[in-house]
Amino acid sequence: MTILSCIADLPLIDHHCHGLIRTDLDRTSFEELLTEADTVSPLGTTLFDSTIGLAVRRWCAPILDLPAHAPAEDYLARRAELGATEVNRRLVATTGATDLLVDSGFRPEQLTTTDELATLTGIRTHEIVRLESLAESVLHDDGDFAMNCAEALAKRNAIGCKSVAAYRVGLRLSGVRPTDAEVRTAVDRWRQSGNPRLADETLHRYLVWLAIENRLPVQFHVGYGDADLDLHECDPLLLTGLLRATEHTGVPIMLLHNYPYQRQAGYLAQVFQHVFVDVGLATHHAGFRGPGLIAELLEIAPFGKVLYSSDSFGLAEHYLLGALLFRRGLSDFLATGITEDALTPEDAGHIARLIGHQNARRLYQFTPGDVLS
Amino acid sequence: MTILSCIADLPLIDHHCHGLIRTDLDRTSFEELLTEADTVSPLGTTLFDSTIGLAVRRWCAPILDLPAHAPAEDYLARRAELGATEVNRRLVATTGATDLLVDSGFRPEQLTTTDELATLTGIRTHEIVRLESLAESVLHDDGDFAMNCAEALAKRNAIGCKSVAAYRVGLRLSGVRPTDAEVRTAVDRWRQSGNPRLADETLHRYLVWLAIENRLPVQFHVGYGDADLDLHECDPLLLTGLLRATEHTGVPIMLLHNYPYQRQAGYLAQVFQHVFVDVGLATHHAGFRGPGLIAELLEIAPFGKVLYSSDSFGLAEHYLLGALLFRRGLSDFLATGITEDALTPEDAGHIARLIGHQNARRLYQFTPGDVLS
Amino acid sequence: MTILSCIADLPLIDHHCHGLIRTDLDRTSFEELLTEADTVSPLGTTLFDSTIGLAVRRWCAPILDLPAHAPAEDYLARRAELGATEVNRRLVATTGATDLLVDSGFRPEQLTTTDELATLTGIRTHEIVRLESLAESVLHDDGDFAMNCAEALAKRNAIGCKSVAAYRVGLRLSGVRPTDAEVRTAVDRWRQSGNPRLADETLHRYLVWLAIENRLPVQFHVGYGDADLDLHECDPLLLTGLLRATEHTGVPIMLLHNYPYQRQAGYLAQVFQHVFVDVGLATHHAGFRGPGLIAELLEIAPFGKVLYSSDSFGLAEHYLLGALLFRRGLSDFLATGITEDALTPEDAGHIARLIGHQNARRLYQFTPGDVLS
């Protein structure tokens, strides 16, 4: 497969990713970060026995000076030899990303900060505030919870927010903005529970409205994730009521990942003005099968409503594979269209630029002067 | 891609479509009819940036004497120059349809009537009664509501009915035929609501039984549609109870569209004797990706249980693309089978005729004497 | 399509199948066993008009000395001429299976027993106990129901159990092990109902725990089946709570079939240590379209978590097609990977052995000494 030239050099805005592990990893720790499995099952085999495992050996090994398809043990030995910093630097350098929008709210103690990531990679980074982490950080502060959330958000200089309601209560969120009294009651209930972790439909919903009222695009984790979530409660269609209620605001809602509900997500992107979608995470977790997922997303999602994200987390291998397999998938989709005479090479270039960076550029408020093509 | 000769000239019965807009359209009005989006999003780009937009430029432009892939503005200018009547005539003439089964109950004031459509296109048209429109038209008539519905239906000379329960209450319909008393109670509730629009599970269900008792095939809108519906309430599997309850009647139930639940629909077509399916609407809304959907439908749906529909609405472009992309999809499926030696060219011809027109011919009661191959 | 050599001769463990019909079949009886439809619809056409019908004519006919693609009537005539025993023997001999794990609890009066199947085919057979049949067989026995179930299970020398909760109450099973008192109450309710057929969430759940406490792998019917089930209640994700509650036991849970939810099943196999999956039944029921389903399952399911099953029932044609279309599907997946340079031929052989037999060998406790490669 040859990647279309309009895509090989396409600048990418990765609108959802996380920091990198700074330390060297033994085999178990590496495998635990490789897929969404928490641990390597004693009943299964190595997690290198997977499409993403094959992809690491195929595509990442050469960047570490190994032959393509090097065995897992060789790969891990060479990784340790080079050290985490050099590995991270080399792998991320392959992505062709100009901007990383970083959700720094998950396991921050283990990962590079947003600034460290910029320094390490030489790529501009931008802050996405994880709403639940923000709320958890002010739960026991004096004064009004809602006001404290608003103030904490204002201090963060974020260009967007992210909700992980999917992980806490699922996506059956009501469309109604909760009243101040409802928020107070829910906060009291939360405080009394003694649980530091937010999991309350009213408050997840409140936080989404807080972001919207600050005109910050809201990202939702949707679909595929780890065993902490109930995947059948993470179908993006469950957000339909909330989407209907928020459309008039004109604030973009970004549905992340979506696998295996990418077609459902494409539908929402078509029929709601403010909905945007990607199929990040799954694209590279499915290895050489990932590119086909992009074609499913693009069946009915308008090209002006689709973005790129990698959802890289911890391993720099995710950065490389996310970008590479996205490029291959988008290239396959467009090259097929050209071969079938369904679109022209000029159309392909236009669509690639929209999805690769123009849509993100239009929707997130980057610093003025910082203009891409 | 070459279309198999047995499909290039295959007569099609389009068992679900709507009338055409009679007037010329500006760009906004055209885009609003192009996809299921109500409006062009100020946050997105033009809706020509979509698989169906590409398909219009590729396939419809040459019929209006433009080069393939003409820019959208050129296309719309030429469309205006030719005028709606000529455009409608030219585009529909490409379909190779012998019969159109027309649901005339949605926005009738904007569209050609069933008779006008026949005159304009020279293709036989047949009436499908939209059950909810029928009920709404007699809501305030004197006398018994149920009897009024039955009389109104009898006057229509319809060859089938259509339910849009999906748009009003979703598809979780009970299998029980409502009693006369239940219908009366529901009608009283509806009248008192002051809402002219029917949205009452009891009454949608009653209307389905009314059609069945008149031995008229019942079409259901299933799956993909505009933002008015909750797509997760439109999975065809939610009809399982009703299908189980109506199987003994032997009256065909037609599940329309079904995207993205085409595999679920194929399952129902296999296991219920009276269930028939199509993947209209999505086939052409997905442009060059649409043909693949037909293959998913045909994984387990028996070939004797699958029909063709375009669900064309308003734009004659839908007629052209619906037929063309159906032909390409069915041809791909069968040509792949021939290439893999999974079926013979004679099998391909037989399957094409079943799906193209023979199944529809067998199930709907067309005028006697009006016989296809 | 050429099948990779590492797959053409791959020994298969068929970890879920049923016995064969011993008697000759007329056309109606044959068609009734061909798909999941109970009967041939008077509104449809023959069930040979389906992907599996085409596959029987293409692949089974030559084994009965007919040309490929022989007409259905010729096929059935030749089948009758040879007689059921010879047909069964010939078709099963093509599978390359070394071991059959047989669920003998469904319609046992019509089918070969597990021992008869071994004698007829010359392939080792192993017993899988259908939990619901076990419970039904002791319902009216004296003494404690739970103890009677445990004793009956111990007598069976089974290497695994199977739950058909999907067919009786759906898969929304709680994760909590029922108390003895809850079991007794449920049994009383069942006895009083007079219904010999078990359909009680508490008891299906109890039986699963009984198997787990005996450290027997538990197979679940998931997804595609006949009209007796509500398919939307058979999404494997509905088992998430039960999977979370049973993970610590380390007893394998096998999700069978899964169509059209194979991607959802792949997710569960990745994130839960004890979950294993297949896409049996659908693989051959979708005929030449079946191989593509395997690729969807393998998008994110680790290769150490995927097994082979045919779910053959009644017709020996299912045995041939199950094995053949599985081999073609796995070969397609791996050959595509080799062509795209995503994996090496050595990787392909390793993955094929895992899925073909090594995973099953590791998870089920076959007789010691009975060792495959």
| Residues of C whose CB is below 8 A from B300 | 35-36, 50-52, 224, 259, 282, 285-286
Token pair recorded at residue A169: 């209560």
Q: How far apart are CA C216 and CA A346, in angstroms?
A: 60
Phi-psi label, residue B57: left if phi above 0, alpha if psi -120 to 50, beta otherwise: alpha
| Residues of A whose CB is below 8 A from C301 | 50
Token pair recorded at residue B54: 């590409």
Q: How far apart are CA B197 and CA C358, in angstroms?
A: 60
Q: How far apart are CA A228 and CA A249, in angstroms?
A: 32
Best CA proximity match to A225, nearest among A356, A313, A99: A313
Per-residue model confidence as pLDDT tens digits over A188-216: 999 999 999 999 999 999 999 999 999 99
Lowest mean pLDDT among A103-112, A364-373, C74-83: A364-373
Closest CB from A35, A58, A259 relative to C341: A58
Token pair recorded at residue B33: 């009819």
pLDDT higher than 70, residue A16: yes
Q: Which residue of A has its CA nearest to B41?
A: A273
Shortest CA gap C164–chain B (Å): 18
Beta-carbon contacts of residue B366 (< 8 Å; ≥ 6 apart): B99, B126, B159
User: How is A130-172 classified by DSSP, letter by letter?
Assistant: EHHHHHHHHTTSSS-HHHHHHHHHHHTT-SEEEE-HHHHT-S-
Shortest CA gap A172–chain B (Å): 12
Q: How far apart are CA B91 and CA B318, in angstroms?
A: 9
Please name the residue ranges forming H helices in B122-230.
Answer: 131-138, 145-155, 165-168, 180-193, 201-213
Closest CB from B37, B68, B69 relative to A270: B37
Per-residue model confidence as pLDDT tens digits over A293-327: 999 999 999 999 999 999 999 999 999 999 999 99
List residues bridging with C306 in a β-sheet. Answer: C277
pLDDT higher than 80, residue B77: yes
Cβ-defined contact of B273 to C69 (cutoff 8 Å): no
Token pair recorded at residue C322: 């199950």
Round the average pLDDT of chain A to a whole number and report it: 96
Q: How far apart are CA B210 and CA A12, in angstroms?
A: 57
Cβ-defined contact of C54 to B250 (cutoff 8 Å): no
Shortest CA gap C188–chain B (Å): 28
Helix (H) or strand (E) holding B42: none
Cβ-defined contact of C273 to A43 (cutoff 8 Å): yes
Q: Model confidence at A372, in pLDDT bands (50, 70, 90)?
A: very low
Q: Which residue of A has its CA nearest to B286?
A: A299
Closest CB from A43, A55, A227 relative to C271: A227
Token pair recorded at residue B295: 């293959």
| Residues of C whose CB is below 8 A from B273 | 37, 39, 41-44
Phi, psi of A276 (to 5 degrees): -130, 155
Q: Which residue of B has its CA nearest to A338?
A: B288
Q: How far apart are CA A300 and CA A297, in angstroms?
A: 7
Quick count: other Cβ atoms within 10 Å of Cβ B345? 14
Q: Which residue of A has its CA nearest to B48?
A: A302
Q: What is each CA distance from C123 to B162, C119, C355, C364, C370, in whole angstroms?
A: 53, 8, 19, 17, 13
Q: For position B373, what pLDDT does the model report? A: 39
List residues bridging with B102 in a β-sheet. Answer: B17, B127
Shortest CA gap C50–chain A (Å): 25
Using a CB–CB cut-off of 8 Å, the residues of C that contact A are: 235, 237-238, 240-241, 244, 250, 252, 263-264, 267, 270-274, 276, 295, 298-305, 336-337, 340-344, 347, 350-351, 354, 362-363
Shortest CA gap C318–chain B (Å): 15
Shortest CA gap C67–chain B (Å): 12
| Residues of A whose CB is below 8 A from C337 | 54, 288
Per-residue model confidence as pLDDT tens digits over B269-282: 999 999 999 999 99
Q: How many helices (H) and strands (E) does chain C have?
A: 18, 7
| Residues of C whose CB is below 8 A from A35 | 270, 300, 302
Phi-psi label, residue A311: left if phi above 0, alpha if psi -120 to 50, beta otherwise: left
Q: What percent of chain B has pLDDT over 90?
A: 95
Cα pseudo-dihedral C161, C162, C168, C169, rounded to 10: 80
Averages of pLDDT over runs of 10 residues in chain C (373 residues) are 91 98 96 96 97 98 98 98 97 97 90 95 96 97 96 95 98 96 98 97 98 98 96 98 98 98 98 97 95 96 98 97 98 97 98 98 77 41
Q: How far apart are CA A64 and CA A67, in angstroms?
A: 9
Pick from C40, C66, C229, C231 the residue to mutate for testing the B interface (most B CBs within 10 Å).
Answer: C231
Per-residue model confidence as pLDDT tens digits over B196-241: 999 999 999 999 999 999 999 999 999 999 999 999 999 999 999 9
Decide: residue B241, CB within 10 A, 0-12 exposed, 13-18 middle, 19+ buried. middle
Q: Are B316 and B263 in contact (CB under 8 A)?
A: no
Q: Which residue of C has its CA nearest to B306?
A: C44
Helix (H) or strand (E) holding C31: helix C27-34
List residues bridging with B222 in a β-sheet. Answer: B257
| Residues of B whose CB is below 8 A from C58 | 341-343
Q: How far apart are CA C331 and CA C360, in angstroms?
A: 19
Q: Model confidence at A1, in pLDDT bands (50, 70, 90)?
A: low
Phi, psi of C297 (to 5 degrees): -60, -40
Cβ-defined contact of A300 to B286 (cutoff 8 Å): yes
Cβ-defined contact of C42 to B271 (cutoff 8 Å): no
Chains that touch B (3 or more CB pairs under 8 A): A, C
Cβ-defined contact of C340 to A45 (cutoff 8 Å): no
Helix (H) or strand (E) holding A126: strand A124-130
Shortest CA gap C141–chain B (Å): 35
List residues bridging with A163 in a β-sheet. Answer: A220
Decide: residue C184, CB within 10 A, 0-12 exposed, 13-18 middle, 19+ buried. middle
Q: How far apart are CA C195 and CA A236, in angstroms?
A: 41
| Residues of A whose CB is below 8 A from B286 | 299-300
Chains that touch A (3 or more CB pairs under 8 A): B, C
Q: For position A369, what pLDDT does the model report? A: 44
| Residues of C whose CB is below 8 A from A289 | 295, 298-299
Quick count: other Cβ atoms within 10 Å of Cβ C195? 12
Shortest CA gap C296–chain A (Å): 8
Q: Are A275 and A243 in contact (CB under 8 A)?
A: yes
Q: How far apart are CA B118 and CA B203, in angstroms?
A: 32
| Residues of A whose CB is below 8 A from B47 | 302
Q: How far apart are CA A212 and CA A206, in angstroms?
A: 10
Which SS3 state, helix, strand or coil, does residue B59 take?
A: helix
Cα pseudo-dihedral B343, B344, B348, B350, rounded to 10: -110
Q: Are A6 and A299 in contact (CB under 8 A)?
A: no
Helix (H) or strand (E) holding B161: strand B160-163
| Residues of C whose CB is below 8 A from B244 | 227
Shortest CA gap C295–chain A (Å): 8
Q: Are A153 and A214 in contact (CB under 8 A)?
A: yes
The number of CA neighbours under 13 Å toward the Cβ of A345 is: 4
Decide: residue A94, CB within 10 A, 0-12 exposed, 13-18 middle, 19+ buried. middle
Residue C260, preceding bond cis, omega within 30 degrees?
A: yes
Per-residue model confidence as pLDDT tens digits over B94-130: 999 999 999 988 888 889 999 999 999 999 999 999 9
Q: For position B365, what pLDDT does the model report? A: 86
Q: For position C369, what pLDDT does the model report? A: 44
Cβ-defined contact of A343 to B42 (cutoff 8 Å): no
Q: How far apart are CA C137 and CA C148, in angstroms?
A: 10
Q: Model confidence at A373, in pLDDT bands (50, 70, 90)?
A: very low
Q: For position C371, what pLDDT does the model report? A: 40
Q: What is each CA distance from A159 to A204, B94, B183, in whole angstroms?
A: 19, 50, 54
Q: For position C1, what pLDDT does the model report? A: 65
What is the interface size between B and C, counted as CB pairs within 8 Å? 104
Q: Are A299 and A277 in contact (CB under 8 A)?
A: no
> Strands C218-222, A218-222: parallel, antiparallel or unpaired by DSSP?
unpaired
Q: For position B1, what pLDDT does the model report? A: 65
| Residues of B whose CB is below 8 A from A263 | 259-260
Sign of torsion over alpha carbons C314, C318, C319, C322: negative
Q: Which long-range contacts (CB under 8 A, 24 or more apart) does B110-118 make?
A: B110/B21, B110/B314, B111/B18, B111/B19, B111/B20, B111/B21, B111/B22, B111/B313, B111/B314, B112/B19, B112/B20, B112/B22, B113/B19, B114/B19, B116/B19, B116/B22, B117/B19, B117/B20
Which SS3 state, helix, strand or coil, does residue A252 take?
A: coil
Beta-carbon contacts of residue C218 (< 8 Å; ≥ 6 apart): C160, C161, C162, C163, C208, C211, C212, C251, C252, C253, C254
